[in-house]
Structure 1
Amino acid sequence: MKEKSKDRAFMGHPRGLLTLSMTEFWERFSYYGMRAILIYYMYYSVAKGGLGFDQGTALSVMSIYGSLVYLSSTIGGFISDRLLGARRTVFWGGVLIMFGHIVLSLPFGAGALFASIVLIVIGTGLLKPNVSEMVGNLYGEKDLRRDSGFSIFVMGINLGSLIAPLIVNWAQVKFNFHVGFSLAAFGMAIGLIVYAIDSRKYIGEQDNQAPDPLKPGELKPLLIKVAGGLAAAIIVLGIMAATGNLTIANVIMLLTIIAIAVPITYFVMMLTSKKVTKVERSRVWAYVPLFIAAVIFWAIEESGSSVLAVFAANQTQLTFGSFKILPGWFQMLNPLFILLYGPVFATLWVKLGKKQPSSPKKFAYGLLFTGVSYLVMMLPLMLAGTDARVSPLWLVLSWAIVEIGEMLISPVGLSVTTRLAPKAFASQMMSMWFLADAAAQAVNAQIVRLYTPSTELAYFGIFGGLTILFGLVMFLIVPRIEKLMQGVN
């Protein structure tokens, strides 16, 4: 490996950035290909090849699925930090994801759906936080290429997200849902091959070993805690079953509580740990409002695969003469705009250098754009009513606005998380970034049930307005956050 500051083999960045970007390219191809058609698979009738869930339940399951995917990042962070190291953890995560998509491609109904959810949730938890942490490890602490590198990383993985809905939704319509899901499995298999070959050459030595390995005396207490957690889960589910409360809605509520409680527990753990220095503790405090801002942002951004996906199918004009738009194709808008905006923001941060806005200010601006993207969705409903099908350009406009918010929050959040992380909690702090998404989608799992044709105008207005309000509050507390960051910008 070259010295970090001198390695400029890939677009002026370390060569390992290409390896990790390609790995995430194929992982995102598999995940977003599956996600583009999953909501329809759940609520379409059996006659149309679906499972026949009611729409409210499908929306809620879709959201909690996304929450669990990111909630499981805590497992990946711990296994990387304490057991396997980042490189091997990512590989085994990819294996589980691939098998999850294979199970979903089999025509075994709801049972296969829930089995695939378990595999993909655990696999993504092992893979995602550790790939991002390895990107951070490619750069020195004061390397000004870092934000630009993360912007390129986000651009690269969104190529996979862009292509996947087009191909997978077409295959689903041309053949059936299971053929579409099989393409997702194929994509992850390719990603595994690329990673297995390249990661040995271009990933740093620090990613081959756990930075804080378990000591012999720590293994037994860990196993006891794991066994205790599993026993508690079995007992709770058993009680729910015995009392007639073991329903999808109640299980989702339980998972929502867990998804909110986990990040709170992690913050308490890091802030009270003796392994965290005074400066590191101050930086963790600075991360708290950024985390809350990220939760609010992701709650709206992630609704693209649930609320906006249903809007696309039920209330959007999909035919123009002989040309027909498939509803899953709207999922391409997210990665499309990231790819369009990515070069602009990557170049902007490099050119501005030390003059660029601080990370908290970028977050505040991002929330304003995010809130406006929901307010925009009120306009066609006010003009045409909730019963009419509206122009698809309204969805295009909404996505165009929210993705400006994403470029101000997502790559910046990845970057600032690696810089604010205590050394003893490096990968686990990276998991915190994904826990923001987990908490957001867990909240969504409850509130999406409020989304109906009679309430959608208020739905977009209330949540869009609250997001803008928090963005304004962020501007007021930026100086305090910057002080707590202790020199990190």
Structure 2
Amino acid sequence: MTDGRTFFGHPWGLATLFGTEAWERFSWYGLRAILATFMAASPAHQGLGMPDETAQAVVGVYGALIYLVALPGGWIADRILGARRSVFWGGFLIMLGHISMAVPATSPFFVWLGLGLIISGTGLLKPNMSVMVGRLYPEGDDGRRDAGFSLFYLSINVGAFFAPIVVGWLAAGDRWHLGFGAAAVGMALGLTQYVRGGRALLGIGERPGHRLSPAERRRFGRLLALGAGAAVIVLAVWAASGTLTIDRLALAITVIILIVPIGYFGYILLGSHNLTEDERIRMKAYIWLFVAAAVFWMVYDLAPSKLLFFARDHTDLSLSGVPIQPATTQSFNPLFIMIFVPVFAALWVKLGTRVSTPQKFSFALVTVGLSFVVMSVVAGLAGAGRVSVWWLVLVYLIQVFGELSLSPVGLSVTTKLAPEAFKGQMLGLWFISISVGDAVGGQTGRLSQVLSEPMYYLVLAVLAILAGLALLMFARKLRVMMAEHHEPAIR
């Protein structure tokens, strides 16, 4: 039963999930805002003393794994725990991860343990929060459900906006572990709200949709133990050989992440799965969009590493006379998203189908490429001394136009093009495009060893723009393959 309360006209359970997600994103974006600079700081400044390129690779792989584990996280909820318990235990693991990172020990063990716990916890929490939001609404209530997801999306960006400001301020002066502790407190507050507001969820997600049978549980347990054992043995042998380094491990994980979508697309297209010819054609078109999205995220998600280092080393960290921390620059992006989401939502309604999905993706790629053209120019100016932080404000503003042309559109087209046999799995495949982009983007730091700073940005800019133009050249053909029809725009 419900007490009749509503949250902006929506089920009160949305308030519980809104608050939980806002605090979880506070913890995630708070950590992300200082992780690279912490890893690159010297031990004298309480950091890990990594080269910037290595820290960039680690942050890239970390972000990639966060999105990759959403697939098994969703499966565990569906077959073992249910969405409700998955969110709780995921949040609990995330909190433990931040607490581990807040331990002021000189050994990096607690850092790696913390990151592993956060990755595992986010895999359980992130996909299942969205599932629970959707289940708050009855079948056929699509309009309110869409509006509810818009509010939920706002919670993400509220947390993302405040986290870098608060955590960055607390971590200033080499107080890194105080910043990590703030992220732990944020997740603890989210868990508290989740538990206290549990009654408003009306039993949603309490049971798995298709629980494993006892035989399936035993088989899953054996496979999990076998996989974990094999990974431990491989790492132990590699470490014993004396060739295991953080850089090489990050590269190996990147290669594995690249293999995952190749294998998955091959499995879909080469197996029978009772796919119709139209479904196969649409999947072939989707591969183009997947690659385009991966290129976009490769550039876009350099914000918490390469652009953060630029803010630290080359900008005058002052906004209209107010001093800020390097981490504060990570708040520009969510601020612009909150401002422009309704603008772009109205724009797509106005344009209707006159602008196709491939054209939107092309615009996103060209836009993110142009943002790095600006970065190339600014990096050249920085050779003569620190530049205004307003340049980074401009870069993030340009990038947000690209994100709003690709991210929500990508989620929508993924559900549309998914074959019937893979409806429940395709959103996970979309998140793998982010995983691929993050992992490869982390590896681009190696280019800094052979390219000047302006040339580094220019190379990535040209790559993104060329990819966008190539997609635009085939936009008409892809539109036919996707069965997107030209219709008059809604006025």
Q: Is the 8 A contact 1:141 1:419 kept in 2?
A: no
* 2:469 alignment counterpart: 472
1:451 has 2:445 as partner: no
Letter in 1 for 2:231: A
**2:319–2:389 Cα contact (<8 Å) kept:** no
Q: Give the match for residue 187 of structure 1.
A: 186
Aligned partner of 1:362 in structure 2 is 360
**Within-5 A mapping of 1:140-159:** 143=142, 150-159=149-158
> Does 2:71 match 1:74?
yes
Partner of 1:347: 346
* Amino acid of the structure 2 residue aligned with 1:239: V
Match of 2:48, SS? Answer: coil
The answer for the alignment partner of 2:248 in structure 1 is 250
Residue in structure 2 matched with residue 291 of structure 1 by the alignment: 290
Quote the Cα distance in structure 1 between the aligned partners of 2:140 and 2:372.
Answer: 37
Q: Which residue does 2:457 correspond to in 1? A: 460
Deviation, structure 1 residue 404: 0.8
Q: Tell me what 2:390 maps to.
A: 393
Question: In the alignment, which residue of structure 2 is the partner of 1:44?
Answer: 41
Deviations 1:360-401 (A, max 9, x none): 33222222211111111122234x253521111111111000
Take 1:430 and 1:148, find their aligned partners in 2: how far apart are those partners?
Answer: 20
2:489 counterpart residue number: none
Query: What's 2:232 paired with?
Result: 234
Kindly indicate whether the alpha-carbon contact (under 8 Å) linking 2:353 and 2:485 is maintained by their aligned counterparts in 1: no
- Which letter does structure 2 place at the counterpart of 1:101? H
User: Aligned letter for 1:43?
Assistant: A
Letter in 1 for 2:376: M
Question: Which of 95, 98, 104 is the aligned partner of 1:98?
Answer: 95
Does structure 1 conserve the Cα–Cα contact (< 8 Å) formed by 2:356 and 2:484? no
* Change in CA separation of 1:128 and 1:357 when aligned onto 2, cut-off 3 Å: farther
73-82 vs 154-163, which deviates more? 73-82
Q: TM-score, normalised by structure 1?
A: 0.87
Q: Contact between 2:45 and 2:174, CA under 8 Å: does it hold in 1? A: no
* Residue 221 of structure 1: how far off its partner (Å): 3.7
Q: CA deviation at 1:84?
A: 2.7
Relative to structure 1, the CA distance from residue 454 to residue 467 in structure 2 (aligned partners, 3 Å threshold; closer, same or farther) is: closer
Counterparts of 1:283 and 1:197, CA distance in 2:
45
Preserved CA contact (<8 Å) 2:98 2:183: yes
Partners of 2:479 and 2:311 lie apart in 1 by 41
State whether structure 2 residue 398 is matched by structure 1 residue 416. no
Q: TM-score, normalised by structure 2?
A: 0.87
Q: Which letter maps to 2:177?
A: H
Cα gap change, 1:364 to 1:15, in 2 (>3 Å): farther
Cα deviation for residue 277 of structure 1 reads 4.6
Between 351-360 and 455-464, the greater mean CA deviation after superposition: 351-360
Equivalent-residue separation in structure 2 for 1:150 and 1:474 (angstroms):
30
Query: Paired residues, what number?
Result: 482
Counterparts of 1:282 and 1:140, CA distance in 2: 30
Q: Aligned partner of 2:115: which letter?
A: I
Match of 2:26 in 1: 29
Instruction: Report % sequence identity.
Output: 43
Q: Deviations over 1:248-301 (max 9, x none)?
A: 111111111111112222333344566665366555444322221221111111
Q: Please say if residues 151 and 345 of structure 1, whose CA atoms lie closer than 8 Å, have aligned partners that are also in contact.
A: no
Deviation string 1:206-256 (CA, Å, 9 cap, x unpaired) is: x44444443454344433332332233123213312321111111111111
Q: 1:167 maps to what in 2?
A: 166
Report the CA distance between 1:411 and its aligned residue: 2.2
1:401-412 correspondence to structure 2 within 5 Å: 401-412=398-409
| Cα distance change, pair 39–438 in 1 and its aligned pair in 2 (3 A) | same
2:458 aligned partner, one-letter code = G
Q: Distance in 2 between matches of 1:90 and 1:286?
A: 34
Answer yes or no: is 1:214 the counterpart of 2:208: no
The Cα of 1:402 is off from its aligned counterpart by 0.4
The amino acid across from 1:300 in the alignment is: V
Deviations 1:80-128 (A, max 9, x none): 2332333332222111111101111111231111000110011111122
| 232-241 or 243-252, larger mean C-alpha shift | 232-241
3-state SS of paired residue (1:246): coil
Aligned AA (2:259)? A
Check whether the contact 1:31–1:184 (CA below 8 A) recurs between aligned residues: yes
Distance in 2 (alpha carbons) for counterparts of 1:282 and 1:139: 33
Greater CA deviation, 145-154 or 249-258?
145-154
Quote the offset at 1:69 in angstroms: 1.5
In 1: Cα distance, 2:199 partner to 2:360 partner = 35
The residue identity in structure 2 corresponding to 1:411 is P
Q: Indicate the SS of the match to 2:242.
A: coil
| Alpha-carbon distance in 2 for matches of 1:127, 1:416 | 24
Residue identity in the other structure for 2:129: V
Q: C-alpha root-mean-square deviation of aligned residues, in Å? A: 3.3
